[in-house]
A and B are shown apart, each in its own frame.
Chain A
């Protein structure tokens, strides 16, 4: 039985959108900052400086980088789940504040009271940082509701994973978003594993871009390892939402190199699979190669960027290590606001 495909498949390399040297350079900086920051966070976790759960974004950098490059910074709202460090760095939140929140210090973005999964910024319109799988999808639809209610022309970008895509409230939110034409772009970061369960073992249909089909929400599968593809798709999806046409779904095909969280040995996948992604599809190496081959940057210039980023990360780590823990009196603050 023939069925008309509503969603287009991931584009091939033959029709990949072009990036200027400036765009590649911006993407390179942002992605490298995430990579180095996360490696440092992993190291600090190993040293016992970061407690509890710590979910690293290594491997998925192109997704949030490309989407954020296509959004209006300071105007469009973003919200995600627990794998949130990269989102904050790209949105311009202070790396020192992020790292100090990971170490639970007073200078952390949430004064040390939130932790890895709970950081926010009203100023940057970043709404977390949510630890409950799928909750951010309804919340993100609510951010879009507020945008429409006020008519402020902003778009809400709600990220969630292939695991969250099986949660019921996701479809409740799809329904209302389409029904009310809310300006929201749903970004499904499909890294193939919901903790240790592969999509094939968890999802009856694994083409997540089609999950809005029954609500008539358009969707696209995107090569989430290529920042140009991400940017191009996000630009169109955001424009669609901003123009009043309602929600859009982008499924980003991506990959996380590390385990689900620091304590996950990732034995549910082969070493070859990880190695293949790292060697052949790495989002940062792709951009780096283009910058050099295109003659935009020399190895030395890239080395300088690398050193600059290392300095930022080192400064963040030093701050997060030496900043004091929150004062004991903070135990009782911020529970409710006195009217």
Chain B
């Protein structure tokens, strides 16, 4: 390549001043030699030679302003090359024959090429049919989560658990109880208090093909590790063109607990549900906790599994089958109804369920939906319900701005606007850091009365 072109030295540079030549006609140059200095509004930079040869001609005088990127500025002939091989291009403001069209310029030239292809639609599967007469076992959410991990650890040697106090202490909230005894310290691993480090370490282990279950003592502490969860785990498959996977589960209690103050009482549902590449699950019932955690551990994708401390002790019926797996990305219709759709997940379901009982007693036929998975979000189930009821109330403990309710509201407006008989209403945690005082904390959380009031408002009963 005999022509030396005016280089672009930053993503935004379009032209610059050729301030100084450091070679003259007849000089021999080799790779790495500085040929010239150029100036932009930001900086002075050096132009290095990539090829070897003799400087035949300088096409732009030093001191010239506004030299466009890719303009030939000099001719350098390699050994054996003749001047005839190179077109004399002195004073040509634009390259006579553009050697390349940068990708972004090509896109500008062809506006129709910018059409965005349609996003593929996620098709959620339905819950599996349970065998006739299957035994239902009453257990706590805690036991359900514990059983899910134990079963998957038995099934797959690549699965291991790491986190603070997961082994010898048996889990800060006893979710990992007895796992150390059964699976040993190689697979149930106590970590130092070092969320950023052990989350990153687990992601690296997942890149290498292991299937880590990372327990955060609470999701509040995962703020230290969020870079590794998002920048390393969630984006890896895409950045590698589909090559490197991160099959792993990040799990632990999420959302407000009780009287633990602002730094230990935050709902991260909306945060993680924002991120493509992650799967986000937030179960309410014991059966969903078990079936979805097992599915999460088997998932080839990074899963954020949001539990709730207050729900750990609540009980539910879990089917006693060998491999109880539930589909990720499928909402559950907890109660069928015709008058109003109430949508919630995790702890919000407790308020929503209690409100539904009272509303039904008062003659309001509520359809109650438990999202269970927040990404992919089963908006089909919600939209279909709203088409039937014409009204939507969302319930969550998180802050209102940019929340799950906001997202549902937007989707319903986009997909079922003509079916709405009332504005969508959101019941959320108040827009404040969580206060400690008992009375203020109670005020900051959503409650059953607020759900009832919202339903009354959208059904115009108040």
Contacts and interface: CB of A to CB of B under 8 A. Distances in A.
A337 B246 CA distance: 10
Given A110-B241, A142-B207, A263-B10, A175 B201 contact: no
A127 B244 contact: yes
Interface string B1-37: 0000111111101000000000000000001100000
Contacts of A132: 227, 231-232
Most-contacted residue by chain A among B240, B295, B300 (CB, 10 A): B240
Contacts of A335: 237-238, 276-277
A46 B200 contact: no
Contact of B194 (A47, A111, A130, A175): A175
Contacts of A149: 160, 186, 205, 210
Interface in A173-190: 173, 175-176, 179
B155 interface: no
Interface string B106-145: 0000000101110110000000000000000000000000
Contacts of A333: 242
Most-contacted residue by chain A among B70, B115, B205, B276 (CB, 10 A): B205
B279 A336 contact: yes
A283 interface: no
A161 to B, nearest CB: 17
Given A138-B197, A138-B228, A176-B198, 13 more contacts: A45-B8, A46-B6, A46-B69, A47-B99, A122-B244, A138-B204, A139-B201, A139-B203, A140-B204, A146-B204, A262-B9, A321-B100, A337-B301
Contacts of B415: none
A78 B100 CA distance: 34
A278 B32 contact: yes
A135 interface: yes
B196 A168 contact: yes
B371 interface: no
A173 to B, nearest CB: 5
Contact of B5 (A47, A122, A179, A262): A47
B9 A114 contact: no
B74 interface: no
B116 A339 contact: no
Interface stretch (B41-49, B59-67, B169-177, B335-343): B41-49
A325 interface: yes
A104 interface: yes
A293 B3 CA distance: 36
Interface string B297-328: 01111000000000000000000000000001
A220 to B, nearest CB: 24
A169 to B, nearest CB: 5
Interface string A302-339: 00000000000000000001000100110111111101
Contacts of A144: 204
Contact of B231 (A119, A135, A142, A145): A135
Contacts of A49: 100, 102-103
Contact of A141 (B8, B115, B200): B200
Contacts of A142: 200-208
Interface residues of A, number: 77
A257 B31 CA distance: 13
Interface of B: 5-11, 13, 31-32, 42-45, 47-48, 50, 69-70, 99-100, 102-105, 113, 115-117, 119-120, 160, 186, 191-192, 194, 196-210, 227-228, 231-232, 236-245, 276-277, 279, 295, 298-301, 328
Contact of A48 (B105, B209, B243): B105
Interface stretch (A10-18, A36-44, A84-92, A202-210): A36-44
Contacts of A243: none
Contacts of B31: 35-36, 39
A267 B39 CA distance: 13
Interface of A: 35-36, 39-40, 42-43, 45-49, 51-53, 58, 77, 79, 103-104, 108-114, 118-122, 127-132, 135, 137-147, 149-150, 156, 168-169, 172-173, 175-176, 179, 257, 262-263, 265, 267, 278, 321, 325, 328-329, 331-337, 339
A11 to B, nearest CB: 28
A139 B206 CA distance: 9
Contacts of A114: 239-241
A129 B31 CA distance: 26
A112 B238 CA distance: 10
Contacts of B116: 328, 331
A142 to B, nearest CB: 2
Given A77-B208, A113-B241, A332-B120, A172 B198 contact: yes
A309 to B, nearest CB: 11
Given A139-B232, A328-B115, A109 B241 contact: yes
Contact of A138 (B11, B44, B196, B236): B196
Contacts of A139: 200-201, 203-204, 207, 228, 232
Nearest to B105: A48
Nearest to B301: A336
A334 B237 contact: yes
B8 A47 contact: yes
A147 to B, nearest CB: 7
B240 A118 contact: yes
Given A47-B8, A48-B8, A141 B239 contact: no
